[in-house]
């Protein structure tokens, strides 16, 4: 019994304690979302009544469905593309030795540290010109915002992947090279399947980051119909906070659904320790 507590029991203790902390605010949001009064001041931790009124208002009074679609397309496309771009760069940084490698790595990290919201004035001016020349990738378009987000593809995720590449033994690709594989074959056939867990994790991080992005999207998307969830929901409580709180919480819950689904989809890769098997051979 004592060994069970020492080896397994503490794990459950930590898990349960964290569950309470993790779930309390979420339960509050759920109960506010189904609260028939729909105001902040009447919301409690435990639901006092159940009604779908907030959800109905959300779809009737706002273009929530449209926002949802916009967010989904933009987040899926930009996270998939950014994971691929990031993996390419991570391979170069981890496996290749070239001049400017360390400087490159450092710059990728440092450029992210400039306070982003100040660059917004510049981004606005740049895209005013882009909208004039190429309206297809200008303001209020999916493509424009996706491209803009891809500007940050080389960043934290590249570091995360490079760290993961570093932990894979070099003998793997060296032996493949000896067998006559090109660098593209080493990358696509050997390394990419092995780093699947980190690809899944970074895809999830990128997806969440994009769904939550507010500052740039707020400047970029001005048409009601082109807004993303973050911009739309924020606008909802910017003015009428107390009255719209129930509707806001309903929207928050629905916004969480795609993220949960993406996580479920990638769960297999995230939990499977693929490398442990590969290194054995």
* Minimum distance of another protein from residue 243's CB (angstroms): 13
Please calculate the CA angle 22-27-29 and round it to the nearest 5 degrees: 110
Long-range contact set of residues 102-110: C-beta below 8 Å, sequence gap at least 24: 105/159, 105/162, 108/154, 108/155, 108/158, 108/159, 109/155, 109/159
Q: Give me the least distance between CB of 60 and another protein, in Å please.
A: 18
Contact, 206 vs 79, CB < 8 A? Answer: yes
Q: Which is nearer to another protein, 12 or 65 (CB)?
A: 12
Query: Least CB distance from residue 51 to another protein, whole Å?
Result: 20
The Cα 51–Cα 49 span in angstroms is 7
- Residue 60 exposed, middle or buried by CB count within 10 Å (0-12, 13-18, 19+): exposed
Residue with smaller CB distance to another protein, 38 or 251? 251
Q: Which is nearer to another protein, 54 or 275 (CB)?
A: 275
Using an 8 Å Cβ cutoff, are 138 and 130 in contact?
A: yes
**Shortest distance (Å) from residue 270 CB to another protein:** 7
């Amino acid at each position: 019994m004592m060994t069970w507590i020492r080896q397994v029991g503490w794990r459950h203790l930590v898990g349960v304690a964290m569950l309470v902390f993790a779930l309390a605010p979420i339960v509050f949001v759920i109960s506010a979302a189904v609260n028939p009064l729909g105001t902040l001041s009447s919301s409690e931790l435990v639901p006092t009544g159940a009604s779908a009124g907030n959800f109905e208002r959300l779809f009737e009074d706002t273009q929530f469905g449209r926002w949802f679609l916009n967010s989904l397309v933009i987040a899926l496309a930009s996270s998939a593309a950014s994971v691929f771009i990031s993996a390419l760069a991570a391979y170069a940084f981890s496996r290749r030795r070239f001049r400017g490698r360390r400087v490159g790595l450092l710059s990728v990290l440092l450029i992210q540290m400039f306070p982003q919201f100040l660059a917004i004035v510049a981004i606005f001016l740049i895209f005013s010109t882009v909208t004039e020349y190429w309206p297809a990738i200008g303001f209020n378009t999916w493509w424009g915002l996706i491209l803009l987000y891809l500007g940050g593809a080389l960043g934290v995720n590249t570091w995360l992947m490079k760290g993961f590449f570093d932990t894979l033994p070099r003998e793997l690709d060296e032996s493949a090279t000896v067998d006559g594989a090109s660098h593209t074959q080493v990358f696509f056939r050997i390394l990419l399947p092995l780093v699947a867990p980190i690809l899944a994790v970074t895809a999830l991080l990128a997806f969440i980051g994009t769904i939550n992005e507010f500052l740039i999207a707020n400047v970029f998307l001005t048409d009601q119909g082109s807004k993303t969830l973050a911009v739309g929901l924020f606008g909802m409580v910017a003015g009428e906070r107390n009255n719209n709180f129930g509707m806001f919480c309903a929207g928050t819950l629905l916004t969480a659904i795609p993220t949960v689904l993406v996580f479920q989809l990638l769960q297999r890769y995230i939990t499977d320790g693929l490398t442990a098997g590969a290194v054995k051979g």
